[in-house]
Amino acid sequence: MMSRLAPRWPAWLFWWQAACPQGVSAQQRTWAGASRIPGPGGPWGATGTSPLVRRGSSSAFSCAPEVVLTRERYSVRRLPFSVVSEDDLAALERIVPGRVITDPEELEAPNVDWLRTVRGSSKVLLRPRTSQEVAHILRYCHERNLAVSPQGGNTGMVGGSTPVFDEIIVSTALMNQIVSFHNVSGVLVCQAGCVLEELSRYVEERGFVVPLDLGAKGSCHIGGNVATNAGGLRFLRYGSLRGTVLGLEVVLADGTILNCLTSLRKDNTGYDLKQLFIGSEGTLGVITAVSILCPPKPSAVNVAFLGCPGFAEVLQTFCTCRGMLGEILSAFEFMDAECMKLVGLHLHLACPVQESPFYVLIETSGSGAGHDAEKLSGFLEQVLGSGLVTDGTLATDQRRIKMLWALRERITEALSRDGYVYKYDLSLPLDRLYDLVSDLRARLGLHAKHVVGYGHLGDGNLHLNVTAEAFSPSLLGTLEPYVYEWTARQRGSVSAEHGLGFKKKDVLGYSKPPEALQLMQQLKALLDPKGILNPYKTLPTRT
Amino acid sequence: MMSRLAPRWPAWLFWWQAACPQGVSAQQRTWAGASRIPGPGGPWGATGTSPLVRRGSSSAFSCAPEVVLTRERYSVRRLPFSVVSEDDLAALERIVPGRVITDPEELEAPNVDWLRTVRGSSKVLLRPRTSQEVAHILRYCHERNLAVSPQGGNTGMVGGSTPVFDEIIVSTALMNQIVSFHNVSGVLVCQAGCVLEELSRYVEERGFVVPLDLGAKGSCHIGGNVATNAGGLRFLRYGSLRGTVLGLEVVLADGTILNCLTSLRKDNTGYDLKQLFIGSEGTLGVITAVSILCPPKPSAVNVAFLGCPGFAEVLQTFCTCRGMLGEILSAFEFMDAECMKLVGLHLHLACPVQESPFYVLIETSGSGAGHDAEKLSGFLEQVLGSGLVTDGTLATDQRRIKMLWALRERITEALSRDGYVYKYDLSLPLDRLYDLVSDLRARLGLHAKHVVGYGHLGDGNLHLNVTAEAFSPSLLGTLEPYVYEWTARQRGSVSAEHGLGFKKKDVLGYSKPPEALQLMQQLKALLDPKGILNPYKTLPTRT
């Protein structure tokens, strides 16, 4: 149950209305209960959060132009793996009977990434149901030197989950069983193919939340989330998967099952092997099951959506917010005016506040509705009074909270509808975070349709996106290595949370020293000596 | 500044006093301000938290019996490393001039662990000041096949930081510089030899806290904390070092400096190499610098110390507490009556509440003193009213908070003064957590002086300790493998937070499958092919 805070908003609301600049209507200035947000049937449609079309499905863009084959667009050479033969298909059929897919039409979607930027040419997809089946598959592929591309919900941003050439796709789609859930500890154990949103629903019914939330939740698999070390919207509150994932079961390249599926909060017996696989994008092993610690579900959640006059004010709002909201702050997201424009243009979502150069979404989650409302009230009074925020709206019930979140979560979808998207996912020092967006807007001029900046400000994570009518090598040349060099000068990360996959693997060196690259190559050689696991991904092409 | 909540304790306090069982004096029943705790000069002495004698110093036990050499007590054979020669000493003197220690008296303390259970016979200790010096040392030792024992504060529990034979001790004691602290992000970068308590003081003056706290804080080094993946008293609130450590600088076995000392909250560029070194006890590399995310300092802290009539009530108090205190709960510790007895006997600390079979220490940390007091008040009313708790005291100012914490933090010290201590640090399912203590008490009868149980209940972490007049192989045989087999049957961990070091290395197999052990051995061979780094530690002796 979400508590409504509206009846508690006191004097400051009226004070703020009185202090509000001229020309803003009384209705626009109403805060309580987010009354300016259209209800079901309004421009946002009936659902709040989930993309209208699930990621991983290609039907969203059925009229979009064909995606160029990766091997044709990028300079990449096939490694000397075996080619799948009729004998191989027969052998695989014995391992996963009835679940060897070779129909070209069925293979269309899993060969293409959700963003429609890369395309493989795999001829076979396998749908194992158990870790043992995955083990048999990998043992066979290892012996036969057949390359494998593990695939979850195929919602990644960097081409990490689609084949590059003819790798066998091993899908976790049928590995979707919950193994156990402990009602006191909140430890959830499940197979890798469970969809995040379904897990979320399952644990929320039991009074807990999954410590991870992201826009793709309706399609992404928990195994893929862990394999990419997904960050997402709850990172600020619950931290990294490196802390919340308690155990993993992983199948190694040679088919060995590594069972580290513990449910213990603490375990210092030897090296923490699961960490090797978190964020390694399926290149060191295939994650088949996950044990994750779910925190208790907060009884009170509020979302404020605010307009700020400049990025300096966004930063000051963040500092004020962290100080005044403390332990109940659960998200601090920002987006610029260009994002809002695209969300309106392509998804018909209306901006719930006065037009502003920047918008901020703040979520609080706590155990006492009254206390949280008081804290939030004090904070809003402060930021409105000092001019850091010029307009805003507040949601306290679940439906309206989802509607406000949709503005932020669906930016990726809006961008995809705008054309070809050049995506950058950077960690930068907070005080320089937005400078790159401004620099790039000036640098690109009319060569780009839109240059937008948004992201998880609380984590120092900028999503910088550039859209254009179509892919263009010359535009790419203007963007890269410029963006990476800019980031490296700030000692930032060229991939904060999306990973490297296929598209970013060659820029690893901008964020890591040569000694680190060498050790990564050694780990890859140790765990996957034949290199059959998700080849052409994560690590730079050896020269 | 700690806020005092006392004036806010309202009606329930009197209600509870009225409902209190007969025979408890009015003075004993006073809650507010922990008035039953003696002030400075009382039985606890003037200081609250820090052990009277710093760990790592042997002077505490100068009249204690000599510690038997590890090589004599345990069946362990020296590996074929070189022996330090005069030429080696001259070469090392060129690397760290004036900081090559060979005086037997000075080598006494660093050869023995704090618990006085293991003793090495190292003839040389080096005190580098920089990572470059550590790199030169390791490059030299690697070439010469000389074994090395890295040492921080030497406060470990499992003999991980003392040499077993004549390994060269590389101390981080002079690597104690803070490199940087960012006032907005809270990111602290420092050398590995900084003492935890000093770091704590440094960041607290700037409005932040180190996300790690433990009894040995006055002596332990942050590098050692990371190398052992220390858990400690703030784990419940801030989670594992695997999430809060942002970056590390590590010197590898061959002298290569691996600089992953990033200050970014998020960085998904390639494999997260720092995770290899967190918790690997100096067997894969020597940590020379740490970047750690410090959360904002809570403005209100309260500590309640409660007596419970049974372990079932302790568990129910925990569930109630987690539900009612939610995001402000920062610690939930328990100790049994035997612990309290020893703390009283050896350290002269008085029990601040009525004698009970179990005691619970609950800490809240939040951003609003009034809100926290209300939440805590509601919780205490609930547990007292339902009989889960029979007596308690509350501290709201820093001095008294420290005094209550000392009861819990100084148990280790009290145990050490009781005789030889057999220590077990286990993760177990909450509902079976204390059964092992009772089982063992029955099993040992008069063979042990004391069998005690305490620990981080909120993390499922039991510290089980058995004391005896002296080390005895037959008592050891009664304890082991019994304790490990018991733990393994519950799918627990045989080392929750202390690590394996020398004393627990051979029990790894109780918590990890053979496939995991094999991969750990492979990682060791990859990173330290000659095995010079902290040999005889962490991984089982190869048979």
pLDDT tens figures, B327-356: 999 999 999 999 999 999 999 999 999 999
Whole-angstrom distance, CA of residue A492 vs CA of residue B181: 17
Closest of B358, B294, B297, B299 to residue B332, by C-alpha: B358
How far is it, in rounded angstroms, from Cα B160 to Cα B501?
4
Instruction: Give me the residue from A185, A460, A510 closest to B430, CB to CB.
Output: A185
The residues, any chain, with a CB within 8 Å of residue A352's CB and separated by 6 or more, are: A34, A36, A37, A305, A393, A403, A404, A407
Q: What is the dihedral of CA A186, A187, A192, A197, to 10 degrees?
A: 0
Architecture of domain B70-171: 2-Layer Sandwich (3.30)
Please list every residue in chain B whose beta carbon sits closer than 8 Å to the beta carbon of residue A266.
Answer: 231, 235, 240, 427, 456, 459-461, 493, 496-497
pLDDT score, position B215: 87
Helices (H), B348-457: 369-385, 398-409, 411-416, 435-444
pLDDT of residue B18: 26
Ramachandran class of A282: left when φ > 0, alpha when ψ lies in -120 to 50, beta otherwise: left
- Taking the CA of residue A519 and the nearest CA in chain B, the distance in Å comes to 8
DSSP bridge partners of B302: B364
Hey, which residues does A450 pair with through a beta bridge? Answer: A467
Strands (E) in A50-127, as ranges, are: 100-101, 125-126
Give residue A277's identity as a one-letter amino acid code.
F
Distance between CA A47 and CA A410 in Å, rounded?
12
Compare all CA atoms of chain B with the CA of A538 and give the residue at the minimum distance: B270
Q: Do B515 and A239 touch (CB under 8 A)?
A: no
Of A268, A500, A527, the CB nearest to B279: A268
One of 2.60.120.650, 3.20.20.210, 3.30.70.2740, 3.40.50.300 is the CATH number of A419-500, namely 3.30.70.2740
Residues of chain B with pLDDT under 70: 1-65, 543
Partners of B367 on chain A (C-beta within 8 Å) are 323-328, 375
Query: pLDDT value at position A543?
Result: 58
- Pair B171, B126: CB distance under 8 Å: yes
Which residues are B190's β-sheet partners? B178, B290
**From CA B485, how far away is CA A303, in angstroms rounded?**
50
Nearest C-alpha neighbor of B453 from the set B463, B445, B467: B463
Of B296, B512, B526, the CB nearest to A270: B512
The answer to whether B271 contacts A327, with C-beta atoms less than 8 Å apart, is no
Across the beta sheet with A461-468, what order do the strands follow? A391-395, A300-308, A358-366, A329-336, A450-456, A461-468, A420-427
The pairing of strands B178-181 and A450-456 is: unpaired
Query: Do the first three CATH levels of A70-171 and A419-500 match, i.e. the same topology?
Result: no
Name the pairing type of β-strands A358-366 and A391-395.
unpaired
Q: How far is the C-alpha of B360 from the C-alpha of B382, rounded, in Å?
A: 15
Residue of chain B nearest A282, judged by CA positions: B271
Q: Do A264 and B499 touch (CB under 8 A)?
A: no
- Looking at residue A542, its pLDDT comes to 72
Candidates B299, B327, B332: best to mutate against A (most CBs of A within 10 A) is B327
CB contact under 8 Å between B368 and A526, yes or no, is: no
Tracing tokens 């947000």 back to the chain, one arrives at: A37
Which residues does B104 contact at the CB level (< 8 Å), separation at least 6? none
ipTM for the predicted complex comes to 0.89
Nearest CA in chain A to B488: A262
Q: How far, in Å, CA of A282 to CA of A532, rounded?
A: 10
pLDDT of the residue at A328? 95
A–B: how many Cβ contacts below 8 A?
257
Distance from CA of A98 to the nearest CA of B (A): 31
The kind and range of the H/E element at A131 are helix A131-144
pLDDT at B66: 87
Determine the number of helices (DSSP H) and then strands (DSSP E) in chain A. Answer: 19, 16
Tokens 């690109």 correspond to: A444
Contacts of B257 in chain A (CB under 8 A): 515
Please list every residue in chain A whose beta carbon sits closer than 8 Å to the beta carbon of residue B539. 270
Among chain A residues, the shortest Cα distance to B182 is held by A429
Of B269, B299, B492, the CB nearest to A493: B269
- Residues B453-472 have pLDDT tens digits of 999 998 899 999 999 999 99
If you search the block for the tokens 């057949």, which residue do you land on?
A: A146
DSSP assignments along A441-503, one per residue = HHHHGGGSSEEEEEEEGGGTEEEEEEEESS--HHHHHHHTTHHHHHHHHTT-BSBSSS--TTT
The Cα–Cα gap between A325 and A264 comes to 31
Q: Measured between CA atoms, how close is B449 to chain A, in angstroms?
A: 28
Q: Which two tokens stand for residue B397?
A: 């100012």
Q: What are the extents of the domains in chain B?
A: 70-171, 178-293, 298-410, 419-500
For residue A511, list chain B residues with Cβ-Cβ distance below 8 A: 262, 267, 269
E-only strand ranges, A48-143: 100-101, 125-126
Which residues of chain A are within 8 Å of residue B157 when distances are taken between CB atoms?
A: none
Shortest CA gap A247–chain B (Å)? 12
Gap between the terminal Cα atoms of chain B: 57
Q: Which of A243, A256, A427 lies at the smallest CB-CB distance from B266?
A: A427
The reply to whether residue A267 touches residue B324, judged by beta carbons under 8 angstroms, is no
Q: List CB contacts (< 8 A) between A184 and chain B.
A: 319, 430-431
CA dihedral B463, B465, B471, B475 (to 10 degrees): -110
pLDDT at A204: 97
Question: At B145, is the secondary structure helix, strand, or coil?
Answer: coil
What does the pLDDT read at residue B39? 28
Give the residue from A269, A317, A461, A524 with the most B CB atoms within 10 Å of its CB, the best one to mutate. Answer: A269
- Which candidate, B53, B67, B136, B63, places its Cα nearest to that of B100? B136
To test the contact with chain B by mutation, choose from A268, A283, A292 the residue with the greatest count of B C-beta atoms within 10 A, namely: A268
Cα dihedral B397→B400→B405→B407 (10° resolution): -170
pLDDT at A138: 98
pLDDT for position A233: 87
- What residues have CB less than 8 Å from A411, skipping those under 6 apart? A215, A335, A339, A342, A343, A452, A454, A463
Find chain B residues with C-beta within 8 A of A461's C-beta.
265-266
Please, is B30 exposed, middle or buried when counting C-beta atoms within 10 Å of its C-beta (0-12, 13-18, 19+)?
middle
Do the beta carbons of residue A428 and residue A456 sit within 8 Å?
Answer: no
CATH number 1.10.1740.10 is the correct assignment for the domain at A298-410: no
The pLDDT tens digits of the residues spanning B414-453 come to 999 999 999 999 999 998 999 999 999 999 999 999 999 9
Question: Residue B241: enclosing H or E segment and its boundaries?
Answer: helix B241-244
Question: Which of these, B436, B454, B453, B539, lies nearest to B492 by C-alpha position?
Answer: B436
pTM value is 0.89
Distance between A330 CA and the closest CA of chain B, angstroms = 11
Could you tell me the CA-to-CA distances from A122 to A58, A102, A127, A503, B222 in Å, in that order?
Answer: 16, 9, 14, 18, 49
Report the distance separating Cα A169 and Cα A137, nearest Å. 11
User: Does CATH number 1.20.140.10 belong to domain A178-293?
Assistant: no
- Secondary structure of residue A534 in the 3-state scheme: coil
CB within 8 Å: B520 and A270: yes
Chain A hits for B260, Cβ within 8 Å: 512-513, 516
The answer to whether the CB atoms of A427 and B280 lie below 8 A apart is: no
The runs of H, that is alpha helices, within B96-195 are: 104-111, 131-144
At B485, the amino acid letter reads E
How close is the nearest chain B Cα to the Cα of A460, in Å? 7
How many angstroms separate the CA of residue B515 from the nearest CA in chain A? 6
Question: What's the confidence (pLDDT) of residue A422?
Answer: 95
Q: B429 in helix, strand or coil?
A: coil
pLDDT in tens, chain A (543 residues): 222 222 233 333 322 322 333 333 333 333 333 333 222 323 222 333 333 334 433 334 445 668 999 999 998 999 999 999 999 999 999 999 999 999 999 999 999 998 899 999 999 999 999 999 999 999 999 999 999 999 999 999 999 999 999 999 999 999 999 999 998 889 999 999 999 999 999 999 999 999 999 989 999 999 999 999 999 888 989 999 999 999 999 999 999 999 999 999 999 999 999 999 999 999 999 999 999 999 999 999 999 999 999 999 999 999 999 999 999 999 999 999 999 999 999 999 999 999 999 999 999 999 999 999 999 999 999 999 999 999 999 999 999 999 999 999 999 999 999 999 999 999 999 999 999 999 999 999 999 999 999 999 988 999 999 999 999 999 999 999 999 999 999 999 999 999 999 999 999 999 999 999 999 999 999 999 999 999 999 999 875
With CA atoms as reference, the chain A residue closest to B260 would be A512
- Best A138, A206, A266, A319 member to test B by mutation, with max B CBs in 10 Å, is A266
Distance from CA of B1 to the nearest CA of A (A): 15
Contact B371 A367 (CB under 8 A): no
Own/partner pairs for B224-227, CB < 8 Å, 24+ apart? B224/B151, B224/B152, B224/B153, B224/B155, B224/B156, B224/B161, B224/B172, B224/B192, B225/B152, B225/B196, B226/B192, B226/B277, B226/B278, B226/B287, B226/B290, B227/B150, B227/B152, B227/B277, B227/B278, B227/B279, B227/B280, B227/B281, B227/B282, B227/B287
A326 to chain B: closest CA residue: B367
Within A386-448, residue ranges assigned H as helices are 398-409, 411-416, 435-444
Question: Nearest C-alpha of chain A: how many angstroms from B267?
Answer: 4
Contact A368 B326 (CB under 8 A): yes
Q: Give counts: helices (H), strands (E), chain B.
A: 19, 16
* Residues in chain B closer than 8 A to A527 (CB atoms): 519
- Could you give phi then psi for residue B191, rounded to 5 degrees? -75, 160
Handedness of CA B207, B212, B214, B219 (dihedral sign): negative
